[in-house]
C-alpha cells in the first residue's frame, strides 16, 4: 500500500497566522513524501524504516512518527500493535519551510488508512497530523498540515474550536521561483522569538499582524482574477516581506536573495515559512522570466532555485 503527500509553499501570512490572521498556502505537487505499508514478520510489531535518514529501523514507540501511527490506528479502531513494516521516503528538503515533516506524516496516515481500507476525510488526516506537529513544535498554527492534507490552495484561519480551511480560487497560473538559502532553520525558534517579542510589545506586534492580514485578504481577491494583476500582486507580496522583516524573521541571506530576485525583474519577493533561513519566493511574469530569476538566484548563492507554477484552481 503506497500513499504520497505534496510539499507546500506559504504564499503569504506566515507568523501572523499563529495570532489569528488569515494565510494562503499552496501545495507543490512535484515534491512529495511517500509512505509504504507492508505486512511485517510475525510478532515484530510496528517497524518504521526511514532509509534516507538512518540505516536502522525505528521501533521506539516514543518516536514522533510511531506515536502518530499509534494515534492513526486508534482513530481507525484498528488493532493496537499489528505487525507492519512502514517505509517513508521524501524528496522534500528538510527544515527549509516546505513542510517536509507534515508531508511525511500525511503520507503515513493515508497509507495506514488505506491498509485498513478506510477512506479518511482530508479534515481527519489534517487533524491527526496537526496533533503530531504539536508534539514536535509546540504551537503550530495548523496551516502546514491543512494545505498538505487538502492538497489544494487554501485559505486558513486559526480559530476555536476548529480552524477555518477554505479551498481558494486561483484564476490564472502563477509563475513563482523558490530560492533556498541552504540555511536550515527550525520553525519553533523564530516562532518562539516572535512570541516573546509580542509578549513584550503586544500592541505593536498585534498591529503588524493585522497589517499582514489586510495584505493577505487583498491577495486572495487578486488571485481569483482570470488575468492576475501581477504588479499589484507583486507589490503586496513585497509589502508582506517588509512586515515580516519588522516582525524580526528575515535574515541577511534571505534579504540578499530577495534583492537579487527584484534586480532580475521579479514582480515581488518575500521569505516563505518561518524565516531566519529556509526559502524565499519570487513572482515572475512567465516561465522564461522564472528561469531567468532562478539563474540569478543560483549565481547569488542560492543552493537551489526552482521555478514552479501554481495552476489555476477552483
Task: List interacting residues with ligand PMV (CB under 6 A).
Answer: 10, 14-15, 17-18, 97, 99, 140-141, 143-144, 187, 191, 273-274, 278
Shorter beta-carbon distance to ligand PMV: residue 261 or 274: 274
Q: What angle do CA 192, 18, 20 make, to 5 degrees?
A: 150
CA nearest to 169, candidates 223, 214, 216: 223
Shorter beta-carbon distance to ligand PMV: residue 14 or 127: 14
Shorter beta-carbon distance to ligand PMV: residue 142 or 268: 142
Shorter beta-carbon distance to ligand PMV: residue 122 or 144: 144
Nearest distance from residue 278's CB to ligand PMV, in Å? 6
Nearest distance from residue 32's CB to ligand PMV, in Å? 16
Shorter beta-carbon distance to ligand PMV: residue 93 or 228: 93
Provide the angle, in degrees to the nearest 10, between the axes of the packed helices 252-263 and 287-299.
Answer: 140
Shorter beta-carbon distance to ligand PMV: residue 87 or 90: 90
Residue 19 DSSP one-character state: G
Nearest distance from residue 15's CB to ligand PMV, in Å? 5
Nearest distance from residue 279's CB to ligand PMV, in Å? 8
Nearest distance from residue 39's CB to ligand PMV, in Å? 34
Nearest distance from residue 295's CB to ligand PMV, in Å? 25
* Nearest residue (beta carbon) to ligand PMV: 273
Which residues, 6+ apart, have CB-to-CB distance to 206 below 8 Å? 19, 198
Nearest distance from residue 281's CB to ligand PMV, in Å? 12
CA dihedral 30, 32, 37, 43 (to 10 degrees): 160
Strands 304-310 and 174-180: antiparallel
Distance, CA of 143 to CA of 122 (rounded, Å):
13
Q: Facing residues of 280 across strands?
A: 179, 271
Q: What angle do CA 113, 117, 118 make, to 5 degrees?
A: 55
CA nearest to 301, candidates 228, 230, 252: 252
Shorter beta-carbon distance to ligand PMV: residue 31 or 46: 31
Largest Cα–Cα distance in the chain? 61
Amino acid at each position: 500500500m503506497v500513499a504520497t503527500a505534496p510539499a507546500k509553499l506559504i504564499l503569504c501570512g506566515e507568523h501572523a497566522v499563529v495570532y489569528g490572521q488569515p494565510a494562503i498556502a499552496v501545495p507543490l505537487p512535484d515534491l512529495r513524501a511517500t509512505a509504504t505499508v507492508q505486512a511485517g514478520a510475525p510478532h515484530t510489531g510496528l517497524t518504521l524504516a526511514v532509509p534516507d535518514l538512518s540505516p536502522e529501523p525505528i521501533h521506539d514507540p516514543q518516536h514522533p512518527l510511531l506515536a502518530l501511527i499509534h494515534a492513526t490506528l486508534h482513530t481507525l479502531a484498528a488493532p493496537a500493535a499489528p505487525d507492519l513494516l512502514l517505509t517513508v521516503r521524501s524528496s522534500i528538503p528538510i527544515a527549509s519551510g516546505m513542510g517536509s515533516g507534515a508531508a511525511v506524516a500525511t503520507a503515513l496516515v493515508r497509507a495506514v488508512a488505506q491498509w485498513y481500507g478506510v477512506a479518511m476525510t482530508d479534515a481527519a488526516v489534517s487533524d491527526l497530523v496537526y496533533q503530531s506537529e504539536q508534539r514536535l513544535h509546540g504551537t503550530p498554527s495548523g496551516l502546514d498540515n491543512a494545505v498538505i492534507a487538502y492538497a489544494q490552495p487554501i485559505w486558513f484561519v486559526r480559530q476555536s474550536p476548529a480552524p477555518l480551511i477554505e479551498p481558494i480560487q486561483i484564476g490564472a497560473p502563477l509563475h513563482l521561483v523558490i530560492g533556498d538559502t541552504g540555511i536550515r532553520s527550525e520553525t519553533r525558534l523564530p516562532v518562539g522569538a516572535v512570541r516573546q517579542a509580542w509578549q513584550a510589545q503586544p500592541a505593536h506586534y498585534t498591529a503588524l499582524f493585522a497589517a499582514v492580514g489586510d495584505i493577505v485578504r487583498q491577495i486572495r481577491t487578486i488571485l481569483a482574477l482570470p488575468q492576475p494583476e501581477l504588479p499589484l500582486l507583486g507589490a503586496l507580496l513585497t509589502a508582506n516581506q517588509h512586515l515580516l522583516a519588522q516582525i524580526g524573521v528575515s535574515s541577511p541571506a534571505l534579504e540578499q536573495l530577495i534583492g537579487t530576485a527584484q534586480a532580475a525583474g521579479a514582480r515581488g519577493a518575500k521569505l516563505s515559512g518561518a524565516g531566519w533561513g529556509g526559502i524565499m519566493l519570487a513572482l515572475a511574469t512567465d516561465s522564461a522570466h522564472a528561469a531567468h530569476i532562478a539563474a540569478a538566484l543560483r549565481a547569488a548563492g542560492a543552493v537551489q532555485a526552482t521555478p514552479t507554477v501554481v495552476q489555476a484552481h477552483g
